[in-house]
Amino acid sequence: MLTIENLHATVDGKEILKGLELTVPEGEVHAVMGPNGSGKSTLAHVLAGRPGYAITAGTVRFKGRDLLALSPEERAREGLFLGFQYPVEIPGVNNVYLLKAAVNAARKHRGLPEVDAFEFLTLVREKMRLMRMDESMLSRGVNEGFSGGEKKRNEILQMLVLEPALAVLDETDSGLDIDALKVVASGVNTLRAPNRSLVLVTHYQRLLEHIVPDRVHVLVNGRIVRSGDRTLALELEQRGYDWLIGEAA
Amino acid sequence: MSAAVLTRLRDEYGAARAALPGSVIDARRRSEAIEMLCAQGLPAGREENWRYTNLRILDRARFTPAQPSAEALPPLPEPLSGFARYVFVDGRLRSGATAPHGVTVRSLLSGSAADGTWRLASELPEARLALLNEAFATDAACIEVRSEAAGAGIELVFLAAAGADSGASYPRVRLALESGARLTVVERHVGVGEAPTLVNSAVRVELAPNAHLTHYRLQHCAARTAWFDTLTAELAADARYDLLAVGTGALASRSTVHARLTGRAAQLALSAAALGAAQQSQDMYALSEHLAARTSTVQTFRGIASDRSRVAFNGKIAVREQAAGTDSRQSLRGLLDGAQAEIDLRPQLEIYTDEVRCSHGATAGKLDENMLFYLLSRGIAPEVAQHLLKWAFLEDVVAKIELPQLRRQIEHGLVGRMSEAVALKELL
């Protein structure tokens, strides 16, 4: 699904990713963990194509294609989804319009007709119930006046409706209380499928109690320094990152 | 501005005066107006409150009123259901309707000499183009609303059909609401043709105690029109004036609004949106003068300047000594959409008393990169994302339009002004 080789990326001339290697096979859930400033969010943004990052070396293949050659919107239409750490508020752009426009953009890309308005709303309502979101949020501006937890739920709602092939969730657990974390995790879990992959970018182990990953990678100073199964996350919880930072240096 | 223009203005007035109707403006008042205007001179760019106006067009404009056109009307905006529509062509009433209960609508062209003695209620130099209207006006709509009129609707359509070679157009309106009366007015300024056209409108609003006027003003003039406009309003105690202006048309547009809140607890809400594209200039000067206790003003402006256009809003709130307890809010925002576009926002506050609550904010900038990337990351095409964000930017004003049919018309009008917005239309 996703193959990253020797990825180097800089922001304002400062190198953040320094030869990152990561392979996420189809149907698997991978967690990328690491201390502050290790490059986790940069990785998520580079994958989604955010402007402001310069790729200085390396390749990223997504479903066999050169991901870096695609524009952000093409990546999304191809089935890449970024769950934002800090979803923006866009007053005046209606939530349901955005969802519908996003779904139709992807359908058009695949040569499918536009979604039926009634079926679409039925689907969205069903997913909203799953995310325990109030229906009134549909008619509001995108994330407008939403609490931190509501914004994260809205990200997952969008993901559930868009059904991406690869979802990269950037610190989706940050700022969530334990109940909201469970709702978000169960939403993510409903999307686990043999033809779909997930990358969870997170600081903490606690999200991984609810979304059990197939593999755990540790990102330190712009590189994956260790990979393992879920027990690696538990080890990090016990020992922190310092021992790996020492090894990486 | 040169003396030659004033000489020409006087000459044109001298040649035209005999044919100008005294029932619209009394002949003596017309002469007074032209003398007052010539004494002050036409507005000039060196004046602080005119510096963002495209005034060059006045140098070569023909001031004489256009001859009445007998041509068939071009397609006009769809009439609003429940509204009585009056159509003025080049400043003269062409077609009327049956006025709603409690409302009198008269064309002063067929009025008496006693009708032609009013002028706009402002001595400000910013309002002096109303004197030009007073000198040359060829007709006036006089709308009187009695207290039994509750929520009636009037639609005024001013069509500028003549090119500047044949003369200017002078829409003129007086709106007087008696105590407790309520009225909604939709005032549209539209145009036809590619010829340069001068329009100079003057509107006087008088609200008696507890009257409530909702006034929508839409400027969609033709591409080479110069639209100058002056509106004065006087608000007695507990009167409420909701003024919402949307400007998208004309080559050069300038609107001056001078509202005087003379009665206790009078309320003014002025919302304006302006779109500039190509070489357009959209300029508005709005003064809200608080002259009584517990009065309030809310000013909201949203402007988008694209290409090489200039969009300006100069909003002043003056709180006089006697206006303790005034509450005023100003929110002015501009969006720059082009390296050569210009936004000029001037929030001004003048306070001569204590115990007031006045807030103001003005920001101008480009489209928010974070918002843009968020939409792209959801698969939205860049041009659609930009249109969506521009649309959202205007929403603070557009959302205040309480008539669904009008709101839809304005939304489609605004979308139509945003090029390549087909995809966006589907979302509305």
Residue B196, pLDDT > 60, answer yes
Output the DSSP codes for chain A.
-EEEEEEEEEETTEEEEEEEEEEE-TT-EEEEE--TTSSHHHHHHHHHT-TTEEEEEEEEEETTEEGGGS-HHHHHHTTEEEE-SSPPPEEEEEHHHHHHHHHHHHHHHTTPPPPPHHHHHHHHHHHHHHTT--GGGGGSEETTT--HHHHHHHHHHHHHHH--SEEEEESTTTT--HHHHHHHHHHHHHT--TT-EEEEEES-SHHHHHS--SEEEEEETTEEEEEESTHHHHHHHHH-SHHHHHHH-
Identify which of B370, B374, B380 has the shortest CB distance to residue A105.
B380
Asked if A4 contacts A21 with a C-beta cutoff of 8 angstroms, the reply is yes
Residue of A74, A78, A90 for testing the chain B interface, max B β-carbons within 10 Å: A90
> CB-based burial of residue B353 (10 Å sphere; 0-12 exposed, 13-18 middle, 19+ buried)?
middle
Asked if A216 contacts A233 with a C-beta cutoff of 8 angstroms, the reply is yes
Q: Which two tokens stand for residue B380?
A: 């939205």
Domain count, chain B: 2
Q: B382 and A50 in contact by Cβ < 8 A?
A: no
Domain termination site, one of B263, B282, B314: B263
Q: Say yes or no: B257 and B372 in one domain.
A: no
Residue of B nearest to A97 (CA): B427
Residues in A closer than 8 angstroms to B378, CB to CB, are 76, 98, 101-102, 105, 158, 162
Q: Is residue B316 part of a domain?
A: no
Q: Say yes or no: B117 and B253 in one domain.
A: yes
Identify which of B379, B391, B395 has the shortest CB distance to residue A106.
B379
Nearest to B277 by CA among B390, B400, B426: B390
Q: Say yes or no: B10 and B125 in one domain.
A: yes
Smallest CA–CA separation between B241 and chain A, in Å?
Answer: 25
Q: Is residue B304 part of a domain?
A: no
Identify which of A72, A109, A142 has the shortest CB distance to residue B376.
A72
pLDDT mean over B220-230: 94
Sign of the CA dihedral running B178, B86, B394, A120: positive
| pTM of the full structure | 0.85
pLDDT mean over B125-146: 96
Residues listed for chain B: 428
**By residue range, what is the domain housing residue B401?**
367-428
Residues in B closer than 8 angstroms to A77, CB to CB, are 379
* Per-residue pLDDT tens digits of chain A, which is 249 residues long: 999 999 999 999 999 999 999 999 999 999 999 988 899 999 999 999 999 999 999 999 999 999 999 999 999 999 999 999 999 999 888 898 899 999 999 999 999 999 998 899 999 999 999 999 988 888 888 999 898 889 999 999 999 999 999 999 999 988 888 888 999 999 999 999 999 999 999 988 889 999 999 999 999 999 999 999 999 998 988 888 888 887 766
Q: Is residue B306 part of a domain?
A: no
Q: Is residue B102 part of a domain?
A: yes
Q: A158 and B381 in contact by Cβ < 8 A?
A: no
Amino acid at position A75, single letter: R
Smallest CA–CA separation between A132 and chain B, in Å?
Answer: 22
- Containing B4, the helix (H) or strand (E) segment is helix B3-16
Considering only residues B162 and A11, tell me which one the structure prediction assigns the higher pLDDT: A11
Q: Is residue B249 part of a domain?
A: yes
Q: Say yes or no: B258 and B380 in one domain.
A: no
Residue of A nearest to B376 (CA): A73
Q: Is residue B393 part of a domain?
A: yes
Lowest-pLDDT choice from B62-71, B196-205, B296-305: B62-71
Residue of A53, A67, A73 for testing the chain B interface, max B β-carbons within 10 Å: A73
First to last CA, chain A: 31
Smallest CA–CA separation between B370 and chain A, in Å?
Answer: 7
pLDDT digits (tens, 9 = 90+) for B289-336: 999 999 999 999 999 999 999 999 999 999 999 999 999 999 999 999
Domain termination site, one of B237, B263, B289: B263
Query: What was the pLDDT predicted at A243?
Result: 85
Residue of B370, B372, B375, B377 for testing the chain A interface, max A β-carbons within 10 Å: B377
Smallest CA–CA separation between B397 and chain A, in Å?
Answer: 11
Sign of the CA dihedral running B53, B298, B203, B235: negative
Query: What was the pLDDT predicted at B426?
Result: 47
Q: B379 and A158 in contact by Cβ < 8 A?
A: no
Query: What was the pLDDT predicted at B428?
Result: 45
Residue of B nearest to A117 (CA): B427
Domain termination site, one of B213, B235, B263: B263
Query: What was the pLDDT predicted at B397?
Result: 94
Query: What was the pLDDT predicted at B423?
Result: 44
Residues in B closer than 8 angstroms to A90, CB to CB, are 371, 374-375, 389, 392
**Beta-carbon-side half-sphere exposure of residue B115 (alpha carbons within 13 Å):** 20
Identify which of A48, A72, A92 has the shortest CB distance to residue B393.
A92
pLDDT mean over B242-254: 96
ipTM, interface predicted TM-score of the complex: 0.96
Nearest to A124 by CA among A89, A96, A94, A91: A96
Residue of A nearest to B399 (CA): A92
Q: B378 and A102 in contact by Cβ < 8 A?
A: yes
Q: For residue B225, which phi and psi values (nearest 5 degrees)?
A: -85, 145
Residue of B375, B378, B387, B395 for testing the chain A interface, max A β-carbons within 10 Å: B378
Q: Say yes or no: B249 and B372 in one domain.
A: no
Residue of A nearest to B388 (CA): A93
Residues of B with CB under 8 A from a CB of A: 368-371, 373-382, 384, 388-389, 391-396, 423, 427
Identify which of A48, A106, A109 has the shortest CB distance to residue B377.
A48
Identify which of A50, A91, A97 has the shortest CB distance to residue B427.
A97
Lowest-pLDDT choice from A76-80, A132-136, B177-181, B218-222: A132-136
Q: Is residue B14 part of a domain?
A: yes
In total, the C-beta contacts within 8 angstroms joining chain A to chain B are 77
Q: Rounded to whole angstroms, what are the CA distances from A93 to A54, A56, A108, B40?
A: 30, 35, 21, 48
Which residues have CB under 8 Å from A211's CB, separation 6+?
A: A29, A185, A188, A189, A198, A200
Residue B427, pLDDT > 70, answer no
Q: Say yes or no: B258 and B372 in one domain.
A: no
Predicted confidence band at B417 (pLDDT cuts at 50, 70, 90)?
low
* Alpha-carbon span A62 to A57, nearest angstrom: 17
Q: Is residue B247 part of a domain?
A: yes
SS3 state of residue B129? helix
Output the DSSP codes for B380-418.
--HHHHHHHHHHHHHHHHHTT---HHHHHHHHHHHHHHS
Q: B389 and A90 in contact by Cβ < 8 A?
A: yes
